[in-house]
Amino acid sequence: MQEMVNIYLFGKKYSVPAELTIMCAMEYAGYQLVRGCGCRNGFCGACATIYRIKGQQELHSCLACQTKVENDMYIATLPFFPLVKQVYDIETVKPTEQIMMQLYPEIYACVGCNACTKACTQELNVMQYIAYAQRGEYEKCAEESFDCVMCGVCSSRCPAGISHPQVAMLARRLNGKYLAPKTAHLEERVQEIKNGTFEELLENLMQKPISEMKELYNNREIEK
Amino acid sequence: MYTNEKMLESIKKVEANRAANAVMEPVRMTAEEKEEVLATYHPDYIQSEFEVLQIGPNKGEKVPKELAAILQANSRINPADIDLTKVDYDVDVLVIGGGGAGTSAAIEADNNGAKVMIVTKLRMGDANTMMAEGGIQAADKPNDSPAIHYVDAFGGGHFAAKPELLYKLVNEAPDAIQWLNNLGVEFDKAPDGTMITTHGGGTSRKRMHAAKDYSGAEIMRTLRDEVLNRNIPVVDFTAAIELILDENGKAAGAVLMNMETKELLIARAKTVVIATGGAGRMHYQGFPTSNHYGATADGLVLGYRAGAKLLYADTLQYHPTGAAYPQQIFGALVTEKVRSLGAKLVNVNGEVFMHPLETRDVCASSVIRECRRGNGVPTEQGEGIWLDTPMIELKNGEGTIEKRIPAMMRMFGKYGIDIRKEPILIYPTLHYQNGGLDITADGQTTNIENLYVAGEAVGGIHGRNRLMGNSLLDIIVFGRNAGKNASAKSKDVEVGELTLSHVDNFAKEMADAGIETDVVSPKLLPNYTNQKSI
């Protein structure tokens, strides 16, 4: 006999197999999901969910596709959270401290409660990356926030109204575009292609009979 | 956590052989050996799983049964009920799909000064792009060239790619990387700026660029942020359910449906870009899938009903390493980067049975063969083969896994498996739609004017198999290409009177061919209601 557990979806009780994820348990119970379901693999942040185990005080947050059900789990999904996303021109912004003050001044109102970090579904140190952002240390902010799936649970818990994922997004783009070292070999290759360096070679390949292409492919040298 | 005794027993054998297995260099298969394993074990070769199309532009050709059922199906609308004079959205370029290809197209169309709009049935970024882990290919190192990239991809795709499309893919690859980098995508780089690149299955040079193992997610969230910065309108939770043509048979918009309220809306456009992605959620041949929730081949259905041709719709990619255990992540992608970094495939007896970096189709077939030979590890869903992840740190030093494949470490860590210390179980999973709508190098379909296609919905860029890292590349190269060309073309387009007569004609063709079915399409979402697992 299969092990079953009782869960409460938006307060209503269902009995579901114990090995299911919250997402599959909702489907098992009969939900046809439209909201709150995306990649089903922990990358897209669509299925942010909060839950509490009956009799316990602590409120948990998770991704529904990545979390197994437990007995007496009270579940509410958070398929959308109104994050504030400021609009900017990536070509004209500069990676200075001022840009955060200008676009996301609320980060300086952080009270240090650490609720964001406790709520993070990816177990990131959210408060720490906000601290880096405050100081204009975008490389560190980018690294610390890299695994963020932008589910928004951190922001739902923030008394200062910070939209952490958007702050981190800006920091990563600033880092990727302006702070990370430039790639000389890439720039050279792009220039070579603009000069048409490979056109004749490629056109030759395109016209070769399949038998010759097979010969080339099967005997090509493979870098160790 | 592994608790099954058979698994634990087998792990001991894997551990005992690890040091020796890690240093050995398995021989690669000859061309003949590859052909044999494919013909005998690859799902594409199982004739009984395919059906011949009776109507439409590819009449007489075979496609997977499940695809035939939605291609030769009923429309979600009755054209007589639709008032095409009541236009809700009127734009230059309509982009259907909000993944990597759709957003790239929209950004370039916006650059070109066109009025562009994205419609997407879920949220922008709910796409396979978001889930691509391993990386993106581009021949930008001194020992590499677009010509070498061409040979790798052409051979890997069984010499079936359309040469003019592959030319574009490889020759515009470095520019695609630079474009992304300039948008702020954080590629893995050495302190001097050199890209950290690795091999993928079937590559002859290390040209796989990555952003840890969140490569696609990093690209997708950056493109999404850029679309929002440009205030490009995004109509989300809204699916395109039919294309609209004009009286001259040119693409001129789409009938849209709000996924929540079911309200129908009319979008008129001078050019249309189909960027609807793949088909993993069709679960061909009952395979699990690594794809996102909305991967149901919608674009193929929309295009086919309007008369667009398909190319290679009979070929799918089964990624050799889907998670086979635990069942909560059954079918989820285990990135090829795990093998790029040095993990090998090991059977139940602790033996390495193949080179881990053969092309995906060969690798998947070889895994299936190894299991059929009785060398698989039994699981609840079937069986699996070990992917010996601890080898990575044996080869590259401690800390490599956390730094280079953190998402994999997290995914298995949630179920008590530490991939730094324990191997993981894999089995092939439905991963990619090699075929799709047939296009020319400008991104336009071969037989419907003003209809463009980009991304996984295209057929012919890769041939009959795709190399790792060439899909993230194709969504960027062909997404941008479609956006540029569709917006340029829109400047000269005068849209004629809108019509859905092709929908009526298709229904008539079905009736004439004696096809009776209850199926309506596009499918839009899979139905997992009341089922136990994914």
Question: Is residue B74 domain-resident?
Answer: no
Q: Strand A60-63's sheet: what is its strand order?
A: A12-17, A4-9, A73-77, A48-53, A60-63
Contacts of A33 (CB under 8 A, 6+ apart): A23, A26, A27, B293, B525, B528
- In terms of domains, do B337 and B444 share one? no
Residue corresponding to tokens 């004017």: B449
The partner residue sitting opposite B225, judged by closest CB among A30, A46, A173, is: A173
- In terms of domains, do B395 and B469 share one? no
Classify domain A4-77 by CATH architecture. Answer: Roll (3.10)
Give the separation between CA A221 and CA B301, rounded to whole angstroms: 42
- Confidence bin at B533 (pLDDT 50/70/90): low
- In terms of domains, do B16 and B116 share one? no
- pLDDT at residue B29 greater than cutoff 70: yes
Cα–Cα distances (Å) from B98 to B74, B94, B134, in that order, read: 25, 11, 21
Q: Which helix (H) or strand (E) holds B428?
A: strand B424-433
Choose the catalytic residue: B18, B207, B292, B339.
Answer: B339
Question: Is residue B176 domain-resident?
Answer: yes
Which tens digits make up the pLDDT trace of B198-233?
999 999 999 999 999 999 999 999 999 999 999 999
Strand partners, B425: B386
Question: Is residue B283 domain-resident?
Answer: yes
Q: pLDDT value at position B1? A: 87
Domain containing B183: what range? Answer: 87-315+434-502
The partner residue sitting opposite B529, judged by closest CB among A31, A217, A221, is: A31
- In terms of domains, do B197 and B268 share one? yes
Does this complex have an ipTM over 0.95? yes
Q: Are A9 and A29 in contact (CB under 8 A)?
A: yes
Last-in-domain residue among B375, B400, B429 = B429
- In terms of domains, do B193 and B310 share one? yes
Angle at B426 between CA B422 and CA B430, to 5 degrees: 150
Last-in-domain residue among B400, B429, B458 = B429
Choose the catalytic residue: B224, B319, B464, B480.
Answer: B319
Q: Are B489 and B342 in contact (CB under 8 A)?
A: no
- In terms of domains, do B394 and B367 share one? yes
Question: Is residue B121 domain-resident?
Answer: yes
Last-in-domain residue among B394, B410, B429 = B429
Q: pLDDT value at position B532? A: 65
Average confidence (pLDDT) over B88-99? 98
Question: Is residue B521 domain-resident?
Answer: no
Percent of chain B residues topping a pLDDT of 90: 97
- In terms of domains, do B335 and B478 share one? no
CATH number for the domain spanning B266: value is 3.50.50.60
- pLDDT at residue B534 greater than cutoff 60: no
pTM above 0.90, yes or no: yes
- In terms of domains, do B147 and B212 share one? yes
Q: pLDDT value at position B530? A: 81
Give the separation between CA B482 and CA B272, rounded to whole angstroms: 9
Query: Which residues on A lie below 8 Å from B406 (Cβ)?
Result: 146-147
Closest Cα in chain B, distance from residue A158 (Å): 22
- pLDDT at residue B405 greater than cutoff 90: yes
Residue corresponding to tokens 């259907």: B96
Could you tell me how many CB contacts below 8 A there are between chain A and chain B?
228
- In terms of domains, do B389 and B441 share one? no
CATH number for the domain spanning B407: value is 3.90.700.10
Q: Please tell me the total count of domains within chain B.
A: 2
Q: Which residue of B has its CA nearest to A208?
A: B163
B339 catalytic? Reply is yes
Q: pLDDT value at position B327? A: 87
Contacts of A12 (CB under 8 A, 6+ apart): none
B319 catalytic? Reply is yes
Average confidence (pLDDT) over B376-399? 95
Which tens digits make up the pLDDT trace of B432-446?
999 999 999 999 999
Question: Is residue B527 domain-resident?
Answer: no
pLDDT tens series, chain A, 224 aa:
689 999 999 999 999 999 999 999 999 999 999 999 999 999 999 999 999 999 999 999 999 999 999 999 999 999 999 999 999 999 999 999 999 999 999 999 999 999 999 999 999 999 999 999 999 999 999 999 999 999 999 999 999 999 999 999 999 999 999 999 999 999 999 999 999 999 999 999 999 999 999 999 999 999 98
- Confidence bin at B381 (pLDDT 50/70/90): confident
Question: Is residue B69 domain-resident?
Answer: no
- In terms of domains, do B169 and B237 share one? yes
The partner residue sitting opposite A44, judged by closest CB among B130, B151, B226, is: B130
Looking only at Cα atoms, what is the longest distance across chain B?
73
- In terms of domains, do B302 and B391 share one? no
Q: Are B274 and B254 in contact (CB under 8 A)?
A: no
Residue to substitute from A41, A67, A104, A191, interface B, most B β-carbons within 10 A: A41
- pLDDT at residue B531 greater than cutoff 80: no
Residue to substitute from B110, B126, B140, B189, interface A, most A β-carbons within 10 A: B140
Average confidence (pLDDT) over B412-427? 96
- In terms of domains, do B310 and B360 share one? no
Q: Strand B436-438's sheet: what is its strand order?
A: B310-311, B436-438, B458-459
Question: Is residue B236 domain-resident?
Answer: yes
Which tens digits make up the pLDDT trace of B157-179?
999 999 999 999 999 999 999 99
Q: Which residue of A has its CA nearest to B167?
A: A202
- Pairing state between β B238-246 and B498-499: antiparallel
Domain with CATH 3.10.20.740 in chain A: 4-77
Tell me if B533 and A42 make a contact (CB, 8 A cut-off): no
